[in-house]
Each structure stands twice: as C-alpha cells, then as structure tokens.
Structure 1
C-alpha cells in the first residue's frame, strides 16, 4: 500500500461522513439520520474490513461528522482561516496525536488519536487530520460543493482537468434533465 493511499482513503471517508451528517440535501433527497450501517460503510472506506459500531459511537460520529462537514464546506468556499479554526477545534477535542501502533499479527501503522479515547473519537481524529492535511496541500482546489440543486454534498474532484461539478452521476443527470425540461417549456 502506498503511504498516501491511507491518507486518501481517510479523506474520502471524512467527506462521506461529513455528507452523511451535515448536508441537508443529499443527491436530491433529504438527509436521513445517521445510522450504524452508514457509519460502518464509511469506516470500510479506510479499512476494507467489516467493523462493528455500537449506537453510542453513532452519536459521537454524528457530532464529529457535522464538525467535519462545516470545516470542509468552509474549505470549499475558500474560507481557509475559518476552516483551520474549525479543524483545530476538532483536533483538540479528539486529542489527535499521531502515534505508530502495532496490533497483534499486523504491521506497524499510524493512528491519529491518543490512548484511551473512544473508537469514534479515534476515527474522528484520523478524519480531522486528513482534512487538515488537505488544507495544507496543493490538492485543496479539488474539494468542491456539488453544483446540483437540492444537493449540499461536498466531494473531491477526481478528474484530470479539475472540472468536476457534481458529487455523483445522479446529480449530474438530474441537473441535465431539469435543464432539458426547462428549455422545453420556454418554446
């Protein structure tokens, strides 16, 4: 695994959690309450392994995800000072402290939280660290807000030409259909 692959996966998971907790509209639909299955799906983006999260952790993820969403929206709007303050608050609340750890039968790897914090706090520290590293990188311009109506999602532009406008094909298609219908009613 490339060293930056883990960071990319953590950043993608941070964006997914942020959208699941902070976006009022998600691809044309009202946001649903965060549930255990959604949190587990977000965590699989980083580990590719099934993880089990309890209901208490879901509440912690919801609160932290909202914080991450606010910070990422500020970054997408190029409000870097305000985003840095929001991320610093999240990192302080999670007691983010990068440390190498090794679990039985695994290689050394980097954790982003202090010993003794909850599972959710540890993941939120990792996601906050990934978002903070994005702020300090040349890739910051890849963070965007979806251009579709009724979608408040943020996303990472994965295109070569940096021109992605929508978080998903569904949002792109909805926008194209709405424009087509609008042109049809004007004639």
Structure 2
C-alpha cells in the first residue's frame, strides 16, 4: 500500500529531475514551462514554479544524481541523510480537493522547498524498501539517464525500453560477430 504518494511521486520526480537537468550535456537551458511540464505528473502545484527556481532545482538535481550513482547502500544512505538534513519536514494532514493526505511541508512553503522535501522523502523510502539494487544509471553504455525500479520483479537496469532494446541489439550483434570470427564456426 502506498500510504501517501511520496514514494512514487518523490522517486518519479527525482528520476525526472536528474534526467531533465543532468543527463543531456550541451542541451539548451530549460525554460520554466519545460520544468513545469516535467514536474506536473508528480503531483506538484507547478503553477508556483518561477524562473528563479530553475537554478536551485538544477543544483538539487545534481545532488540527487549522486544517490543514483551510489553503488553501496551505505554511501546512498549517507547521501540521502544529507539531503534530509537540509529539508524542513513538518508533516500535516491536508485535504485541498484531492482527498485527505500527508504533506511534509507547511502550507505556503516555497516551491523549491516542496520539491526538495518530496524527492528526499521519496528516495529515503526507496532505499528503505529496496536498497540500491533498484536504482542507478542506465546500463546502456552511451546513456547517462537514471532509473528507479519499484516493480514487483525489480529487474530493470535501463532508463527506457529504447535503451534496453539498443543494448540488446548491440549484444546480439557482438555475439554474431564473435561467432563468425571463432575458428569453430568455419567449415573445415
């Protein structure tokens, strides 16, 4: 049971933010509208986002990336605890037209603070439930995007089906080349 949505929304937002701000070197700086569109699916009141929020959100995204890059649970826990130390969590039950649910920020908290709290709590829940085995940087060697896998089987290693297919095709072609080049594959 997902009690409050912070795991799914917070983790999804963390993945989206890291990929939005850190994965595409050389991309044009994002606009407020693009940032709003990226964050909207994760239950944020994106109308509150302002141009001044872009820099702090980009910086936070770079810090979130380090969690996804951590290979050891102890390192990831230290990183997430560091994020949690920097947010002011004040849980409250609220109902503003979406049904009764928990908010971890006080009413009127700045947009950046709400995003930071949500993503820090989400990553904490992800680590507590799954450790570091369910998140990371895409296994496709040319990709720098991150992923988090909360599925039942937990076997995801790619950021998208596109990268998984690309890696599978490359592995298949490499096996074919190796097979064609091996002495046992040539007729005698």
Q: TM-score, normalising length from structure 2?
A: 0.75
The corresponding residue for 1:7 is 7
The corresponding residue for 2:32 is 36
| Counterpart pick for 1:127 among 119, 130, 133 | 119
Contact 1:102 1:108 (C-alpha < 8 Å) held by counterparts: yes
Moved more, 38-47 or 7-16: 38-47
Count of residue correspondences: 178
Question: Can you give the 5+ residue segments of structure 2 that lack an aligned partner in the other structure?
Answer: 181-188
In structure 2, relative to structure 1, the CA distance for the partners of 1:158 and 1:82 (3 Å cut) is closer
In structure 2, relative to structure 1, the CA distance for the partners of 1:34 and 1:19 (3 Å cut) is same
Larger Rg, first or second structure (1 or 2): 2
Listed one character per residue, the Cα deviations across residues 146-181 of structure 1 (whole Å, up to 9, x for unaligned) are 110111222123554332222111112222333345
Bigger share in strand: 1
In structure 2, relative to structure 1, the CA distance for the partners of 1:175 and 1:140 (3 Å cut) is closer
Offset at residue 62 of structure 1 (A): 0.7
SS state of the match for residue 3, structure 1?
coil
Once superposed, what is the RMSD of the aligned Cα atoms?
3.0
| Counterpart pick for 1:54 among 50, 56, 60 | 50
In structure 2, relative to structure 1, the CA distance for the partners of 1:101 and 1:143 (3 Å cut) is same
CA distance in 2, matches of 1:68, 1:124: 10
CA distance in 2, matches of 1:86, 1:116: 27
Offset at residue 145 of structure 1 (A): 2.8
Contact 1:60 1:120 (C-alpha < 8 Å) held by counterparts: yes
In structure 2, relative to structure 1, the CA distance for the partners of 1:92 and 1:35 (3 Å cut) is farther
The corresponding residue for 2:88 is 95
Query: Does residue 155 of structure 1 match 2:151?
Result: no
